[in-house]
Structure 1
Amino acid sequence: MFITECKGYELEKTKSNTSEDFFNKSEVTFKDTGIERTFQVLYLRYFDEFISEFTPYQEEPIFEAGSRSVQFKDIVALAFLIKNPEFRSRKRVYINSKAEFSSLFKELDFEKLATIFTELENGKGFEIRSPVEFIVQPQ
């Protein structure tokens, strides 16, 4: 799986009677067996308040990659695909459970995650050969 882009953003209301402004969307664009795909995770914006529970980060931006300030919402879809590689053929997932959301970040190697963003900022993309490379292995 060759990662070409990771981004996240806050949804905004398109109509006054919708609840879109309670959600964030995180996207990862990648090539898998020569086919370009985009995978999206839609999740409750409320979960952003718990960054320090899910990750080693305390505030936004969570880290810098070159000239880019990486936000928490930028890493969510990538974390999901690393933890659930069988979802590569899906287009989107909706998460409304804090327990399910927090499980995405358990045992994730955040230093290696930052490396992906550095390579993306350098315009190179990043090849993930095995998702296991991004899971912290017991010592």
Structure 2
Amino acid sequence: MRLINIAYEHLEKERSNSPEDSFVRSSVTYEEAGIQKTFYVLYPAIFATRAREEGIWTADSPVDEVVALNLLKSYTGRKRLYISDESEYLLALKEADLSNLLEIVQQVKVNGSYHV
């Protein structure tokens, strides 16, 4: 598997009464067996704040960069994942090798890809 792109975006409201601005979509694009795929994870933006408050995420870069990458192996074959449970989100980060995830993100940014 070759990772091609790792990104995130804070969703913007389409309507004035929409709650979309309080969500983040994290994504990882990868190539597997010659086929390019993208895995998206959608979750409330407050979860990232909680990860910092609890000391789980201490890096200078946004935690949103590593969320989809962290969950990719657990949800192989899926295109989308919605996380509505804060404890599920935080547990996934607590169990992750965050320094390794940051290194992978940096490699993708610098080299344009990373082979897993």
Q: TM-score, normalised by structure 2?
A: 0.88
> 1:76 Cα shift?
0.7
- The 1:88–1:41 alpha-carbon spacing in structure 2 relative to 1, beyond 3 Å, is same
> 1:51 Cα shift?
2.1
**Kept in 2: contact 1:7–1:27 (CA 8 A):** yes
> 1:106 Cα shift?
2.4
> What is the one-letter code of the residue matched to 1:24?
V
Map of 1:1-139 to 2, 5 A cutoff? 1-52=1-52, 53=54, 55-57=56-58, 62-63=59-60, 70-82=61-73, 84=74, 87-128=75-116
> Once superposed, what is the RMSD of the aligned Cα atoms?
1.6
Larger relative contact order, structure 1 or 2 (CA cutoff 8 Å, min sep 6): 2
> Which runs of 5 or more structure 1 residues have no equivalent in the other structure?
64-69, 129-139
Query: Which sits farther off after the overlay, 33-42 or 117-126?
Result: 117-126
Total equivalences in the alignment: 115
Query: Which sits farther off after the overlay, 3-12 or 99-108?
Result: 99-108
> 1:110 Cα shift?
1.6
Q: TM-score, normalised by structure 1?
A: 0.75
**CA shift digits 1:66-110 (9 cap, x unpaired):** xxxx4211111111114x0xx232111111101111121123112
- The 1:48–1:95 alpha-carbon spacing in structure 2 relative to 1, beyond 3 Å, is same
**Kept in 1: contact 2:66–2:102 (CA 8 A):** no
Counterparts of 1:93 and 1:51, CA distance in 2: 19
- In the other structure, the counterpart of 1:135 is none
SS in structure 2 at match of 1:26: strand
- The 1:44–1:56 alpha-carbon spacing in structure 2 relative to 1, beyond 3 Å, is closer
Percent identity of equivalent pairs: 31
SS in structure 1 at match of 2:76: helix
> Which runs of 5 or more structure 2 residues have no equivalent in the other structure?
none
